[in-house]
Amino acid sequence: MSNETKREVVEAILLAKDTDTIWDSSNVRYYLNRYDAALPDDLPVIPEAQSDWIKQCKANDYSLSFALGDEITPIEVAKTFCVLGGYTDKNKDKWLKLQNTFARAWLLGVWRVEETGEIVKLEADHG
């Protein structure tokens, strides 16, 4: 598994020393394949508890809506989605950002763990 980002692939092309051969067909295919396999530049960053919860939910084939608000959601995860004091216009942006970031991580199947910097990349579904 590569932890290279799309930007890093582009930088590698731009900084290549042998620019005469970089554009021959085999090198172009090599860099296109690297780019396709590279991670997005703007990976979602989520807390470790959310990371563990996504892995558990995906392993059990649970839905995103289940992961966001089921009664068995771990308290460490649930409290990141909970609007303390009730939902208001004042806390709307923070609440939406937390859920959107979690959902992006869920959909991409790849994210960075906030506390450790680890990149988690789930295997793609084959069904």
* pLDDT one-digit tens code per residue, 94-112: 778 888 999 999 999 999 9
User: Is the pLDDT at 84 greater than 80, yes or no?
Assistant: no
* pLDDT one-digit tens code per residue, 23-60: 777 788 888 999 998 988 899 999 999 999 999 999 99
Residue, of 38 and 127, whose pLDDT is higher: 38
* pLDDT one-digit tens code per residue, 61-83: 999 988 987 778 888 888 777 65
Asked if 68 contacts 102 with a C-beta cutoff of 8 angstroms, the reply is: yes
DSSP string, 10-56: HHHHHT-S-TTTTTSHHHHHHHHHHHHHSBPTT--EE-HHHHHHHHH
Alpha-carbon span 8 to 40, nearest angstrom = 10
pTM for the whole thing? 0.75
Could you tell me the residue ranges of all domains in the chain?
6-37, 45-121
HSE of 56, CA atoms in CB hemisphere, 13 A: 13
DSSP symbol at 5: B
